[in-house]
Amino acid sequence: MITIRNLTVKFNDKIILDNISMGIGKGEFVGILGPNGAGKTTLIKTILGLIKPSNGTITIDNKSISEYMNRKSNLIGYLPQHAIVNWNMPIRVIDAVMIENIKPFGLFRKYKKDEIESAKYWLELFGVGDRMYSYIKELSGGQQQRVSLARCMIHNPELLILDEPNTAIDAVYNTKLYEILKELSIKNRMTIIMVSHDIGAVTKYVDEVMCLNVKLHCHSKANKINFSTVLREVYGDDMEVVIHGDGCKNCALNRGNK
Ligand SMILES: Nc1ncnc2c1ncn2[C@@H]1O[C@H](COP(=O)(O)OP(=O)(O)OP(=O)(O)O)[C@@H](O)[C@H]1O
Ligand SMILES: [Mg+2]
């Protein structure tokens, strides 16, 4: 679905992404890992056409990003790393979810039945269905993040791009979130690109892992990655890789403490 060829991005002559080439198939769930400043957000923004590359090409379904988006609006759901919502605005959760549907002077129009149904569905899926008519400023940070996720989904996008969706989300719900994303990629054949620092979980749920640090250090099936080598290469020698499994003493100790 997405083909990236020889992509180089520079800011003020500094190379941020260096000659990246890769492909992402339809319905694939891809996790992007890499340390702070590795260029993960830059890569995502370049795919979205928000940053112009110095070199190389990106196509989605063999089209440039603008041609792809002109085909039909709302083909892409995007959750930025930093929320662009002003959470102090005096609007309700349902208005925040619908924000891209709202035409000028339309803020106080009544929503159509199917729009409300759709908002309800996604808010319930993300565990905040009961807050649909609350003011957004009354929600906790994690609840606001779930509303942002629902906003990305409202048009059932073909391509979902999430830049650190787990920010402010608690550990229990994190697992649920990954399960939801995995199911969307399988059942709805939604292509999902997710940046996360949650290495263990990412590799457990995604189909493909990309390890990025200016260069693309690896792009392969999660179960085929040699973690010790690749993660040390990407994160540096201070990275200690501990594989947890049935025989893990610490896991057994933790279980015993509960
Ligand atoms: N608009 C910009 N102008 C100049 N430099 C930028 C700009 N945006 C990002 N950079 C630089 O590009 C590099 C990569 O930034 P990017 O935000 O892509 O990293 P990241 O991998 O997403 O990191 P994090 O995990 O902290 O979110 C950083 O060194 C950053 O300072
Ligand atoms: Mg980032």
- Residue-wise pLDDT tens digits, 98-147: 876 555 455 556 788 888 999 999 999 999 999 999 999 999 999 999 99
How many domains does the chain contain in total?
A: 2
Three-class DSSP category at 105: coil
Examine the domain organization and report whether 174 and 235 are in the same domain: yes
- The closest-lying atom of ligand 1 relative to the alpha carbon of residue 197 is 25
Match 């979205």 to its residue by tokens: 48
Reading the block at residue 166, the tokens are 């787990």
Q: Tell me the one-letter amino acid at 15.
A: I
Q: Mean pLDDT across the chain, nearest whole number? A: 86
- Look at residues 156, 180, 207 and tell me which one is the last residue of a structural domain: 156
pLDDT bracket for residue 252 (50, 70, 90): low
Q: Which residues pair with 9 in a beta bridge?
A: 17
The residue range of the domain holding 110 is 84-156
Examine the domain organization and report whether 63 and 175 are in the same domain: yes
State the CATH number of the domain containing residue 63: 3.40.50.300
Give CA 174 to chain center in angstroms.
Answer: 13
CB atoms within 10 A of CB 193: 24
Lowest average pLDDT, out of 33-47, 75-89, 114-128, 130-144, goes to 75-89
- Look at residues 126, 156, 186 and tell me which one is the last residue of a structural domain: 156
Check residue 187 and report its DSSP letter.
H
- The closest-lying atom of ligand 1 relative to the alpha carbon of residue 43 is 18
Examine the domain organization and report whether 164 and 250 are in the same domain: yes
Which residue's CA is the nearest one to ligand 1's atom 26?
A: 36
* Cα of 37 from ligand 2 centre, angstroms: 7
Examine the domain organization and report whether 62 and 99 are in the same domain: no
Element at 245 (helix H, strand E)? none
In angstroms, rounded to a whole number, what is the distance separating the alpha carbons of residues 98 and 118? 10
In angstroms, rounded to a whole number, what is the distance separating the alpha carbons of residues 89 and 198? 31
pTM for the whole structure: 0.89
Examine the domain organization and report whether 151 and 168 are in the same domain: no
> Is 81 touching ligand 1 by the criterion CB < 6 Å?
yes
Examine the domain organization and report whether 126 and 42 are in the same domain: no
Higher per-residue pLDDT: 12 or 100:
12
Which residue's CA is the nearest one to ligand 1's atom 28?
A: 37
pLDDT digits (tens, 9 = 90+) for 188-209: 999 999 998 888 777 889 999 9
Cβ atoms 215, 21 nearer than 8 A: no
Q: What local confidence, expressed as pLDDT, does residue 247 receive?
A: 58
Q: What's the average model confidence in pLDDT over 152-171? A: 90
Question: How many CA atoms are closer than 13 Å to the CA of 244, on its beta-carbon side?
Answer: 11
* Cα of 254 from ligand 2 centre, angstroms: 32
Cβ atoms 129, 120 nearer than 8 A: yes
Examine the domain organization and report whether 178 and 249 are in the same domain: yes
- Look at residues 156, 176, 204 and tell me which one is the last residue of a structural domain: 156
- The pLDDT > 90 percentage for the chain reads 59
